[in-house]
Amino acid sequence: MKYQAFGTYRPVHNSKDDNDLDLYRITWLRLVKQMAGHKIAHATLKGPSVIKEICIGITLGLIAGGMWKMHHWNEQRKVRAFYDMLEKGEISVVAEE
């Protein structure tokens, strides 16, 4: 007596209809076994990557620092323009009466 593949202990019958059915089952079991297990992608949770965190921190720091410097340069330009106009006499800080 033959037994079906992959650990099922059901006897295989030799009639024509059952033979086709068992061939289908064996093929299906092989396909399922190939698809299952290590080939399935599982979402794994990993801890933080130190290198990635450092790179993100440096990038964000450079962006924030660049924006702060642009703001500072803009304010310096406004102050210089004010004192240049004050020196030329175009404006005055004394209130007119």
Length of the chain: 97
Whether pLDDT at 40 is above 60: no
CB-based contact 93:86 (threshold 8 Å): yes
pLDDT at position 1? 47
Which residues form the domain of 89?
A: 61-97
pLDDT in tens, 44-97: 777 788 999 999 999 999 999 999 999 999 999 999 999 999 999 898 888 877
Same domain, yes or no: 1 and 35: yes
- Residue by residue, what is the 3-state secondary structure of the chain? CCECCCCCCCECCCCHHHHHHHHHHHHHHHHHHHHCHHHCCCCCCCCCCHHHHHHHHHHHHHHHHHHHHHHHHHHHHHHHHHHHHHHHCCCCCCCCC
Residue-wise pLDDT tens digits, 6-36? 555 555 555 555 555 566 666 766 666 655 5
Are 2 and 34 contained in the same domain? yes
Q: How many structural domains is the chain composed of?
A: 2
